């Protein structure tokens, strides 16, 4: 039962008329469970009711995932979600429920959930082991006011001193979230800093690590959400939302990677991207007219710098009208795109949600006829300035609007040959207002659950990218869509890749790029990158080269820049910006800084193209079981307290450890190697783990280490993916004990879903001076090459011999301890001794 009158301590303080517009103060009620009254069970769902009517519903999703929902007066909201994967098949786990005088206890084979009868506080333990993972420090609370309705739902938990916290998606602060208070409200954050919060995406999921055991919590609420990781009170963690229902999932590990995988299963894993999308991308605000685009493409090919995609920013449009071309700058867009394709370039163009108000513009007039745009609660259209001075905005939370949106891409995608689309400004951003977005009183359908913008704001960009993705699949069902979005929400990884937004050309932002990509990857969004070199301001050659080296290990590898040096561009007049670009063009292509930086950037890109089969395999693992492509060092050695606050080093796929150079003038770099043993990728020197290693890092090199027992596949350098038919590929084998994979398919289309792939699984054993490498292949795809060139590292100080499937193989010695041989690509066993 709600408190009918606030206690004396809770008596509301009068609020000024400037805040409420009313001379009367607001009145609020606070709800919190008091004492257990009864519990009921229906299948794997337990509903517990307190004597004052507050209810807690616990749904056992699987042995390792529990869902907690609270209802302040016993009535739960409709169970609808944009975040959860509709295709996730929930299990029917073994569940036992016991009750004593103090607790109600739920047990699965992996977890123990203990609910105190006093306050319905929850504690989670692992099973077996009975180790405490997390526990409430206070009962759930809900605050409701007359003016705002429900304005806060909150959970407060204990935060042990040794606990560390990771994830939360798009945040630019320290990698370990402890000591930070953060919020989620998608925001156009031009030129953000390490202290800027919120940013562009809302991913209310974090991972906890305490005494070597990991778990995760996903706050399943699309309102503005908040997280206090022991900042306000050093022994407490709190998370809350500014409306809606307290609804969260507890995800057990104990491995952090398992937690990330289970979160990805819960919210959905994407399809395989087209292979070209993992190549190098070149972008600028803006490449125009078309002669400039041809010039950039020619320079890439003349300098033999690999590149797969060129982007066209807003200036390809006719007066910022989406789905149109500026005929003065691009008189023959289909011919341009065809010419670029012949040279191996895919074309990607920007599409924004703001539709220009113009009675001569068919997208606007048809949208008005179909009634697809957002309205205020007063009944008038939501109109506001973005790049056009007057825009309307589709309500992407309506299914019929998403269906209307998809076919708008037909001319660009089907007729003119554009390969992918970049959905920008979809927080949604609105210029010239201090809130930089829609006001709260904009209505949204929310797929048949009508609401206002407070609830729909964080999903707006996600649903735009969903409409784009679904539309592209309908237009070309045989082609894998490529969509890049700026704003999104949990689950949005099913529809689009992301980048970290409008950053700055600075060494500080190079460091932030490293942290942000790790954080987004472990939060479900592995297809992530940054504006390489910085979007605003201009890097020098050294900074650009170091960024190119780091980004070679980010799944989305894209240079993007403003192309001018104007401060405050987000508020500047667009015509003035473009005039400055024409008179003071500042390019940011790989050759823009001259030598030695051109050669260094080219080398970084070439390494990326050599590692494409390794990265493509990592994506296969991500799409199959949710393994993040990038993982922070704590994921590699979570029981080691020395790694919980380390930010620079990260895992790229299963076997590579990257130590980026993040400071100017560096000639050596120090990196911490996690447990196990590691090789220097370049020299083959072997190191024991759990130690700091300093290595040379002249400007031409980024330190890179390989886990023992790994097989790293390499392709020959190409100018673009699919340029060459290979006769042979290289496997670099680093002696030790381990398992590796190589996944290959056609690089586009969906035949891989019907066994048209090749999965080569390698098992390596190294003992008693004998290395044994076995291969098992599955699938029906034929890559085309006939042989592997296998480079073997870590067999020191002797003359070695090799046999392949029992037959002698010529083994050529390279540098000390390394050898090379050529074997059939379908071999079963290679023995070196």
**Residue 375 DSSP code:** B
Q: How far is CA 765 from the centre of its chain?
A: 35
Q: What's the CA gap between 81 and 244, in Å, rounded?
A: 12
Dmax over CA atoms of the chain, in Å, equals 93
Backbone region of residue 11 per phi and psi (left: phi > 0; alpha: psi in -120 to 50; beta: other values) = beta
Does the pLDDT at position 583 exceed 70?
no
Report which of residues 72 and 13 the model is more confident about: 72
Which residues, including other chains, have CB under 8 Å from residue 643's CB and lie 6 or more apart? 633, 634, 636, 637, 672, 674
Segment 79-101 mean pLDDT: 95
Give the strand pairing for 451-452 and 656-658.
unpaired
CB distance 152 to 135 below 8 Å: no
Cis peptide before 254 (omega within 30 of 0): yes
Q: Render 45-73 in DSSP notation, one character per residue.
A: EEEEEETTS-EEEEEEEETTEEEEEEETT
Q: What's the CA gap between 374 and 392, in Å, rounded?
A: 7
- How many CB atoms sit inside 10 A of residue 298's CB? 11
Does the pLDDT at position 442 exceed 90?
yes
Which residues, including other chains, have CB under 8 Å from residue 18's CB and lie 6 or more apart? none
CB distance 129 to 107 below 8 Å: no
Question: Which residues participate in catalysis according to the annotation?
Answer: 424, 427, 502
Q: What's the CA gap between 440 and 520, in Å, rounded?
A: 28
Q: What's the CA gap between 726 and 258, in Å, rounded?
A: 36
**Residue 792 DSSP code:** E
Q: What's the CA gap between 759 and 741, in Å, rounded?
A: 7
List, for residues 636-675, the tens digit of each pLDDT value: 999 999 999 999 999 999 999 999 999 999 999 999 999 9
Q: Render 499-561 in DSSP notation, one character per residue.
A: E--S-BSSHHHHHHHHHHHHHHHHTT--SEE-EET-SBS---HHHHHHHHHHHTTSSSEEE--
Q: What's the CA gap between 299 and 602, in Å, rounded?
A: 13
Which residues, including other chains, have CB under 8 Å from residue 768's CB and lie 6 or more apart? none
Report which of residues 429 and 7 the model is more confident about: 429
Which residues, including other chains, have CB under 8 Å from residue 223's CB and lie 6 or more apart? 241, 242, 243, 244, 454, 455, 458
What size, in residues, is the chain?
833
For the chain, the average pLDDT equals 94
CB distance 565 to 535 below 8 Å: no
Q: What's the CA gap between 76 and 72, in Å, rounded?
A: 9
pTM value is 0.94
Model confidence band, residue 16 (pLDDT cutoffs 50, 70, 90) = very low
Which pLDDT does position 22 carry in this prediction?
53
Integer-rounded Cα radius of gyration of the chain: 28
Which residues, including other chains, have CB under 8 Å from residue 574's CB and lie 6 or more apart? 387
Which pLDDT does position 175 carry in this prediction?
98
Which pLDDT does position 316 carry in this prediction?
98
Q: Render 625-654 in DSSP notation, one character per residue.
A: H---SEEEHHHHSTT-GGGTT--S-EEETT
Q: How far is CA 632 from the centre of its chain?
A: 13
CB distance 620 to 744 below 8 Å: no
Does the pLDDT at position 579 exceed 70?
no
CA pseudo-torsion sign 671, 676, 677, 681: negative
Which pLDDT does position 146 carry in this prediction?
94
Which pLDDT does position 497 carry in this prediction?
98
Q: What's the CA gap between 329 and 290, in Å, rounded?
A: 6
List, for residues 167-215, the tens digit of each pLDDT value: 999 899 999 999 999 999 999 999 999 999 999 999 999 999 999 999 9
Q: Render 426-470 in DSSP notation, one character per residue.
A: TTT--TTSTT-S--TTBEE-TTTS-EEHHHHHHHHHHHHHHHHHH
Direct distance between the N- and C-terminal alpha carbons of the chain, in angstroms, rounded to an integer: 77
Which pLDDT does position 7 carry in this prediction?
37
Cis peptide before 442 (omega within 30 of 0): no
**Residue 115 DSSP code:** E
CB distance 238 to 158 below 8 Å: no
Give burial (CB, 10 Å; 0-12/13-18/19+) of 101. exposed
Q: What percent of the chain is modeled with pLDDT above 90? A: 91
Which residues sit opposite 239 in a β-bridge?
155, 227
Segment 507-511 mean pLDDT: 98
**Residue 312 DSSP code:** E
Q: What's the CA gap between 261 and 263, in Å, rounded?
A: 5
3-class DSSP assignment, residue 106: strand
Does the pLDDT at position 804 exceed 80?
yes
Which residues, including other chains, have CB under 8 Å from residue 317's CB and lie 6 or more apart? 324, 325, 326
- How many CB atoms sit inside 10 A of residue 593's CB? 22
Which pLDDT does position 566 carry in this prediction?
37
Q: What's the CA gap between 63 and 96, in Å, rounded?
A: 11
Q: In what order do the strands lie in the sheet with 818-824?
A: 711-714, 728-734, 787-793, 818-824, 812-813
Buried b / exposed e over 549-585, threshold 16 CB at 10 Å, is bbbbbbbbbbbbbbbbeeeebeeeeeeebbebbeeee
Does the pLDDT at position 796 exceed 90?
no
CB distance 234 to 195 below 8 Å: no
Which pLDDT does position 24 carry in this prediction?
63
Q: What's the CA gap between 608 and 611, in Å, rounded?
A: 5
Q: Render 174-189 in DSSP notation, one character per residue.
A: -SS-TT-EEEE-----
CB distance 301 to 558 below 8 Å: no
What is the Cβ-side half-sphere exposure of residue 405, based on CA atoms within 13 angstroms?
Answer: 27
List, for residues 557-572, the tens digit of each pLDDT value: 999 999 753 333 333 4
Which pLDDT does position 322 carry in this prediction?
98
Q: What's the CA gap between 810 and 696, in Å, rounded?
A: 34
Q: What percent of the chain is modeled with pLDDT above 70? A: 94
Model confidence band, residue 814 (pLDDT cutoffs 50, 70, 90) = confident
Segment 60-67 mean pLDDT: 98
Q: How far is CA 614 from the centre of its chain?
A: 19
Which pLDDT does position 564 carry in this prediction?
58
Q: Render 117-165 in DSSP notation, one character per residue.
A: TBTT-EEEEETTT--EEEEEEEEEEEEEETTTEEEEEEEEEE--TT-EE
């Amino acid at each position: 039962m709600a408190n009918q009158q606030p206690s004396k301590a809770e008596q509301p303080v009068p609020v000024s008329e400037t805040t409420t517009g009313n001379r009367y103060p607001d009145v609020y009620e606070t709800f919190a469970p008091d004492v257990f009254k009864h519990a009921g069970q229906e299948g794997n769902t337990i509903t517990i009711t307190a004597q004052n009517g507050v209810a807690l519903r616990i749904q056992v999703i699987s042995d390792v995932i529990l869902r907690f929902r609270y209802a302040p007066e016993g009535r739960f909201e409709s169970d609808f979600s944009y975040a959860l994967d509709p295709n996730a098949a929930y299990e029917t786990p073994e569940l036992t429920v016991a009750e004593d005088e103090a607790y109600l206890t739920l047990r699965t084979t992996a977890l123990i959930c203990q609910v105190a009868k006093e306050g319905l506080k929850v504690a989670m333990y692992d099973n077996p082991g009975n180790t405490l993972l997390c526990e409430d420090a206070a009962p759930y609370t809900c605050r409701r006011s007359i003016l705002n309705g429900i304005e806060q739902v909150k959970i407060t938990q204990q935060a042990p001193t040794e606990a560390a916290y990771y994830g939360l998606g798009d945040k630019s602060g320290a990698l370990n979230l402890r000591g930070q208070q953060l919020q989620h409200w998608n925001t156009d954050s031009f030129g953000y800093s390490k202290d800027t919060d919120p940013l562009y995406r809302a991913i209310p999921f974090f991972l906890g690590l305490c005494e070597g055991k990991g778990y995760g919590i996903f706050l399943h609420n699309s309102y503005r959400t908040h997280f206090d990781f022991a900042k306000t009170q050093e022994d407490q963690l709190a998370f809350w939302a500014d409306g809606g229902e307290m609804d969260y999932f507890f995800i057990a590990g104990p491995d952090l990677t398992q937690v990330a995988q289970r979160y990805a299963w819960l919210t959905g894993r994407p399809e395989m991207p087209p292979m070209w999308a993992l190549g190098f991308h070149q972008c600028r605000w803006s490449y125009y007219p078309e002669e400039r685009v041809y010039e950039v493409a020619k320079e890439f090919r003349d300098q033999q710098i690999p590149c797969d995609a060129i982007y066209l920013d807003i200036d390809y449009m006719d007066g910022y009208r989406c789905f149109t071309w500026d005929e003065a700058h691009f008189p023959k867009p289909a011919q341009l795109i065809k010419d670029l394709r012949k040279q191996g370039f895919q074309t990607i163009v920007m599409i924004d949600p703001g539709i220009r108000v113009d009675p001569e513009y068919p997208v606007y007039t048809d949208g008005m006829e179909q009634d697809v745009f957002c309205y205020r609660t007063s009944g008038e259209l939501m109109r506001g300035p973005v790049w056009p001075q007057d825009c309307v905005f589709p309500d992407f939370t309506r299914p019929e609007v998403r269906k209307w949106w998809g076919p708008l891409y037909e001319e660009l995608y089907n007729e003119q040959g554009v390969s992918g689309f970049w959905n920008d400004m979809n927080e949604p951003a609105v210029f010239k207002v201090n809130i930089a977005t829609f006001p709260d009183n904009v209505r949204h359908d929310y797929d048949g659950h009508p609401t206002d913008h407070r609830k729909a704001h964080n999903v707006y960009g996600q649903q735009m990218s969903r409409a784009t993705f679904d539309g592209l699949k309908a237009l070309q069902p045989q082609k894998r869509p490529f969509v890049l979005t700026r704003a999104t929400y949990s689950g949005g990884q099913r529809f689009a890749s992301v980048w970290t937004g409008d950053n700055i050309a600075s060494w500080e932002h190079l460091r932030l790029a490293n942290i942000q990509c790790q954080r987004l990857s472990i939060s479900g969004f592995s297809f992530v990158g940054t504006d390489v070199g910085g979007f605003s301001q201009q890097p020098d050659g050294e900074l650009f080269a170091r960024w190119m080296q780091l980004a070679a290990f980010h799944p989305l590898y894209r240079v993007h820049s403003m192309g001018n040096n104007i401060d405050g561009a987000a508020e500047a007049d667009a015509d003035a910006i473009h005039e400055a670009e024409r008179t003071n063009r500042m390019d940011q292509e790989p050759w823009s800084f001259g030598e030695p930086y051109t050669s260094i950037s080219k080398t970084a890109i070439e390494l990326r193209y050599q590692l494409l089969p390794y990265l493509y395999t990592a994506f296969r693992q991500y799409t199959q079981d949710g393994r993040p492509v990038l993982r922070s060092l704590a994921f590699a050695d979570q029981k080691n307290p020395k790694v919980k606050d380390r930010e620079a080093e990260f895992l790229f796929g299963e076997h590579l450890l990257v130590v980026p150079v993040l400071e100017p003038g560096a000639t050596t770099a120090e990196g911490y190697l996690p447990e196990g043993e590691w090789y220097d990728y370049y020299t083959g020197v072997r190191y024991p783990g759990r130690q700091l290693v300093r290595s040379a890092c002249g400007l031409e090199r980024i330190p890179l280490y390989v886990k023992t027992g790994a097989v790293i596949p390499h392709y020959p350098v190409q100018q673009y993916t699919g340029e060459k038919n290979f006769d042979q590929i290289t496997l670099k084998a680093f002696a030790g004990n381990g398992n590796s994979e190589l996944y290959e398919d056609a690089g586009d289309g969906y035949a891989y879903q019907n066994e048209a792939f090749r999965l080569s699984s390698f098992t390596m054993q190294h003992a008693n001076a004998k290395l044994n490498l076995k291969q098992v292949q599955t699938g029906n795809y034929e890559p085309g090459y006939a042989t592997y060139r296998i480079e073997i590292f870590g067999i020191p100080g002797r003359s070695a011999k090799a046999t392949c499937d029992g037959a002698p193989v010529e083994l050529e010695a390279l540098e000390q301890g390394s050898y090379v041989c050529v074997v059939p690509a379908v071999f079963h066993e290679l023995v070196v001794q």
